[in-house]
Homo-oligomer: A and B are copies of this chain.
Amino acid sequence: MKRNKQERQKLLQSTIEGTPFITDEELAKRFGVSVQTIRLDRLELSIPELRERIKHVAQQQLDTVKALPLEEVIGEMIDLQLDEAAISILDIQREHVFSRTKIARGHHLFAQANSLAVAVINDELALTASANIRFTRQVKEGERVIAKARVVSIEEARTTVEVTSYVDKEAVFSGEFIMYRSTGE
């Protein structure tokens, strides 16, 4: 049953990926084989033992806890002149793309632009009222998106912000954001 082994190992891999906190014993029960077989499989697939897996996950947490401020701004703000202009950078990583095509999902580019539009407003409250956006080129995993926001008009309670995002000087996204603002409330 060569087939069975291969299939089991594939399943094993994805099972452990999905639920890394699983012991060999539980896996053995789930697949209807002995614990030894599971261990052989892990050996062949170079999957570390439970404790190592847990440690690894925890290590990531320790590493990223300080890097992830659950930001108000999506991407890294590198320039900000209130009511005038702002620039932010977003590195497209695995979590931003469709797993199949590796193309960035639109809402991440939107999020970067939108949060930049919010940040550039020099007021207590800034909310997006409407937006008109275009995705002009696909962005792939690994690319760095630079979003540039420019305030084009300030009216009573509305501000218009234009955001264009680039990868290597090439425009990939552009949008006009009508922002609602109010000092009170």
Binding site for B on A (CB under 8 A): 20-21, 51, 54-55, 57-62, 64, 68-70, 72, 74, 95, 98-99, 101, 103, 105-107, 110-111, 114-115, 118, 125, 127-135, 138
Contacts and interface: CB of A to CB of B under 8 A. Distances in A.
A138 to B, nearest CB: 7
Given A21-B62, A55-B58, A107-B115, 11 more contacts: A21-B59, A70-B95, A72-B98, A72-B99, A105-B118, A106-B131, A110-B110, A110-B114, A127-B138, A131-B131, A131-B133
- What are the 10 A-B residue pairs with the smallest beta carbon separation, nearest first? A61-B61, A107-B111, A106-B128, A58-B58, A57-B58, A130-B134, A107-B114, A54-B58, A131-B133, A57-B61
Contacts of A95: 68-70
Report copies per complex: 2
A66 to B, nearest CB: 10
Contacts of A106: 114, 118, 127-128, 131
Residues of A contacting B: mostly? mixed
A127 B64 CA distance: 26
A135 B128 contact: yes
B135 A127 contact: yes
Nearest to A104: B127
A83 to B, nearest CB: 19
Given A55-B58, A58-B55, A101 B114 contact: no
A129 B135 contact: yes
Nearest to A60: B61
